[in-house]
Amino acid sequence: MSANNNYKEISIGEFNRSKILNAAEKEFALHGFKGARVQQIADRAELPKTNVLYYFKSKESLYLALLEDILRLWNSRFDEATVGDDPAEVLAHYIADKMEISRCRPDASKMFALEIINGAPNLNAFFKDQHASWMAGRVAVIKQWIEQGKLVATDPYYLLFNIWATSQHYADFSVQINELRGKPMTRNDFAEATNNLVKLILTGCGLSVPIEFE
Amino acid sequence: MSANNNYKEISIGEFNRSKILNAAEKEFALHGFKGARVQQIADRAELPKTNVLYYFKSKESLYLALLEDILRLWNSRFDEATVGDDPAEVLAHYIADKMEISRCRPDASKMFALEIINGAPNLNAFFKDQHASWMAGRVAVIKQWIEQGKLVATDPYYLLFNIWATSQHYADFSVQINELRGKPMTRNDFAEATNNLVKLILTGCGLSVPIEFE
DNA sequence: CAAAAACCGGACTAAATGGTCAGGTTTTAC
DNA sequence: GTAAAACCTGACCATTTAGTCCGGTTTTTG
């Protein structure tokens, strides 16, 4: 087997590393950093524990590798929005992006939630600064929208918090949601919940809902 | 000292039990069941570890005692609302009640969140049934409101999920919120956030906001 | 094909952890 | 005042845990 065959070449190392990352995401999402067990990560990855520690030198470095991956998920089109854009379009797509993460990467969302609930001990100063300046930029744009009368006066912080809260809830609290609904959320249910949420937030902000979310 | 003095009589046992429960709530809220350490609970309560295990026979029984307490917090006036009530009033107060819990009992909220994220392994069938039937009742009332035209057509499940998500977010994600706002939420900030949230949700449902939340 | 690099995994270790025990002191009840 | 009940805690134990070690096998590279 060499590089020029039909299937994407993937080394044993890459393959195992990815099995470990997947297993670890699940375990950390269930039990948090302190509660997760290396042995259980190994079991879930179907590898001996020593092998996990061969690829990642410690439980902590495995956790940090995952966390870094997850933070990249947060990027979205909203990052580059400016006052010239249509707030209804931008916010609707931002909400939809967030819902899509909850649907496709619920464990990533849960892991992040646990990290925050834990007091964010592994989010370093660099990330916090970056996050804070992202926030400042987004808040500024929202304020400009309000000044231009494109948006009803509302606190930009609370608006963003509410968007995060509702969209992430579908991942973090999926167990409760499924229990109460009596059935798991399908792709269609997610589409419905997304439209519902877009409508709630946009209407709540005095915006009209883009047709694609009706 | 006897029962007839000025200060409320409280036995050593009651006093220590409560110190332990407070300390444990904090630790479980930070690290979840598996991640929390009995020694750290003891340290936080300023008692030797053996003393903690004197009052609660195991880490698990301490956890369960707390969880039971916390589930009682969920009771609210909304539980008894009927189709005859005004949805705007009822929902606004329900949201305000939830926000009040996030302000006063953030660790209880976090502990519950961790339990759910963990897959709710300690919520027994009895509680789940009770919760499901509460939900069914509330969904029915909301549907009646919609039928009577008191409320715009919306999915009652998603509506409740959104209320929980947003209100609990202020407790569960307080670390992120404080980091981004640059300062902790004061009582006044909570009042503001509550009014903001009531406005968002009620407006989103086509209801007008009761004056007390303006 | 040969050497180097990458990979594998059983046996082990040191530390941490939940929990027990037993002998004490303090508080309560009569 | 005294006996019972409640409370306290240092010493200890069995188990679990993250992480190491090291002799092997497999894969890659030239």
Q: Which letter, b or e, does each residue of B60-92 get, where b requires 16 or more Cβ atoms within 10 Å of its Cβ?
A: eebbebbbeebbeeeebebeebeeebebbebbb
Confidence of residue B19 (pLDDT cuts 50, 70, 90): very high
B31 → closest Cβ in A32, A173, A177: A32
Q: Which letter, b or e, does each residue of B118-149 get, where b requires 16 or more Cβ atoms within 10 Å of its Cβ?
A: bebeebeeeeeeebeeebeebbebbeebbeee
Query: Does residue B119 carry a pLDDT above 80?
Result: yes
Query: Does residue B89 carry a pLDDT above 70?
Result: yes
Q: Are B26 and B107 in contact (CB under 8 A)?
A: yes
| B154 at A interface, C-beta within 8 A | yes
Q: How far apart are CA B53 and CA B191, in angstroms?
A: 40
Q: Which of A45-49, A88-92, B121-125, B137-141 has the lowest mean pLDDT?
A: B121-125
Q: Print pLDDT tens along chain A (214 aa).
A: 333 333 446 788 899 999 999 999 999 999 999 999 999 999 999 999 999 999 999 999 999 999 999 999 999 999 999 999 999 999 999 999 999 999 999 999 999 999 999 999 999 888 999 999 999 999 999 999 999 999 999 999 999 999 999 999 999 999 999 999 999 999 999 999 999 999 999 999 999 999 999 8
CA of B104 to C1' of D1 (A): 48
Q: What are phi and psi of A43, to 5 degrees?
A: -55, -45
Chain B, nearest residue to A181 by Cα: B157
Q: How far apart are CA B29 and CA B36, in angstroms?
A: 9
| A140 at B interface, C-beta within 8 A | no
User: Are B116 and A172 in contact (CB < 8 Å)?
Assistant: yes
Instruction: Give the model's pLDDT for residue A9.
Output: 65
Q: Would residue B182 be called left, alpha or beta, if left means φ above 0 and alpha means ψ between -120 and 50 degrees?
A: left
pTM: 0.93
Picking from B56, B66, B5, the residue whose alpha carbon sits closest to that of residue B32 is: B66
Average pLDDT over residues B68-73: 94
Q: How far apart are CA B192 and CA A33, in angstroms?
A: 34
Average pLDDT over residues B32-45: 96
Tens digits of residue pLDDT in B41-64: 999 999 999 999 999 999 999 999
Q: Are B169 and A170 in contact (CB under 8 A)?
A: no
Picking from B184, B71, B48, the residue whose alpha carbon sits closest to that of residue B123 is: B71
